[in-house]
Structure 1
Amino acid sequence: MSIIREDNTMRITFEEDTWKQGEEGILSVTDGATPFYSADTWKADGKNTLRSGKIMDSGISETTLTVTLSEDGSMTLSYIVSSEQNYDWLHVLVDGTEVLKKSGTGVSTFTEFSYALAAGTHTIVLRYTKDGSQSRGNDACGIGYLLFTGVEPPYAKKYLMTDFNGKIYTLVDGVVTEITDAVAADLGEASYFQKKGFDTLPTSEQLTSLTKPVLYRWSDGKPKAMTASVKAVPKKQTIRCIADLGHATIHGITQMTAVYTGTVTVSYSFDGTTYTDPVDMASFLDADCDALYSGAQANKKIWFEFMIEGKTSSLTNFVITYKND
């Protein structure tokens, strides 16, 4: 096999050109007008290597790889160059940046080169160029192997989630759904994950819809650490209180003030059961104080609900100033 995947690595050798068929979702290959090809110009471990195409003066041989990494990793390759020194070159470009440029004659062994790659999709260009004059040696370059780390492991994977109560959840059409007949022992069975699990990592919103979520993954191969990027927003907080207007000295409301930041809304009730729709604090503080006092006459009380939303919001105090004798 020309492509061998194990854990998070992908090793490519070039005994024949079938490697150019790629790996779905991981590797695709595009040849230039004169591509690199499998040849016995050099041997590595007794196998053909990837040789630059035969070109004339001022020519270019080129093959491009597109590689997707699921985590931070690297590219390592072994190379050999037999060319006119300082005129005919092997170039390796990563995402448009040249990371390796070599020329030379009389080289009989392969040299290794490594380059770090971040998670994501990268374009790797293998290129051999000639100037307009002489040729030396084999007038070519060869690649012994390519090794990528950080690729998605080739294992069958399924996920399930639990909450703080130990209830087990899956995703149904993107919706977090409890598996009502599940028991804890099911989390130790591969067949249960294959039957009930979902295929991709849950989103931040799906995870945080559960209280104290735990994510479980079943894979057929060697497990690796999972990482997740989660954006969490504090739940809306509600503060409830009662203003007692029953004292004989209270004859009205002169004003209301509050010290607060961010998004704070207010609802109120004259019977402790039926509340008004929430309004923002600034609007409520401008409310008609006489009408508010008049509405409270049946029970001589006003029930308040203050709702604080977002991590930067706060309510320090709320003050009602009464009319007194």
Structure 2
Amino acid sequence: MEQNYQPEYYYRVDSYIGIREICKDELFRAARWQNGGRCWRHASLIAASNTLQPHEAIYRISFWKNEDDARKDLSARNCNEPHVMLRIKRDAVIEALHGWEFEEDDFLPGRAALIWCRTIKAGERFCDDGIPFSAFEVWEAGTWRPWFSADAVQPDRVRLARSGWLPIYLHEDRGVVLVHWYAVASSGATGKIWILLTTDERSPTNLGNNEYAIYQVANFLLSGPLKLVTGYVVGVLPIHVSSDNIWTEQYSVAVAEQPARSLTDRIFRRAGAPSRWEVKKEWVMRNREEHDLIVRSGLRGARPEAKDSAWLPKSF
């Protein structure tokens, strides 16, 4: 059994959603500290802030000194939303943050380390200096995994693919949008095959109220990968996952037997889109039926950063 007291390591507990944001950067960076608001009012940081110049800022990062305290912190925080425990060798932190101040955390003496610096202001949130991700390990499935092997840091295209979702690229005004899709038959009275869509977390936009994007997806899929189900009425369900909630819309998609006369269709034709399909926003499923589709798609397992409460039927 692994010993919980290993003085060569530091430990951290971060929210799962926070880890997803950190992954978008190139380094694990220290956050800016300001005297006031919600910041911990550490005595040394307060003293340094009293002589701070306008072009300077204070940046700090904290670590647990032992695994037991980190595990207790993880257990407490997981009651509200999913969190992740990390560890890193202390030598790696000292090397990456050379010249920084290493102190006892005055709020948690003997249990936590406070590491900080006073330097030229780099940004409103984070310092230019940081620690390489490769120095961290992540606690998952009962073992410590190297950072880049951990499920918590895998990109959407990897973790959604594991659940059977497939990629499709849309060309929007803001750039190329990567969308993941999954086809599943409704188990309710609607009798439809639904195409579930969710945008990649790194895409510049989502599909909210974007009927033309939904049309593009439906046209591509029903003319190619899902051509065999074009004889059925097909619904499209865009899904946006945040840490607190799941947002959805419902669209029906059907073969346009006659040229459509709606303003939307005319816009589509001017944009050069084929007129074979009609896309119409309409709510035809109850919350629980919609919830059942999302559960069966495996999306929750692919997006574990959302709170448990977000996945309840009442949240839709």
TM-score past 0.5 threshold: no
**Please, what TM-score do these two structures have when normalized by structure 2?**
0.21
Higher helix share: 2
Give 1 or 2 for the bigger CA radius of gyration: 1
**Please, what TM-score do these two structures have when normalized by structure 1?**
0.20
Higher strand share: 1
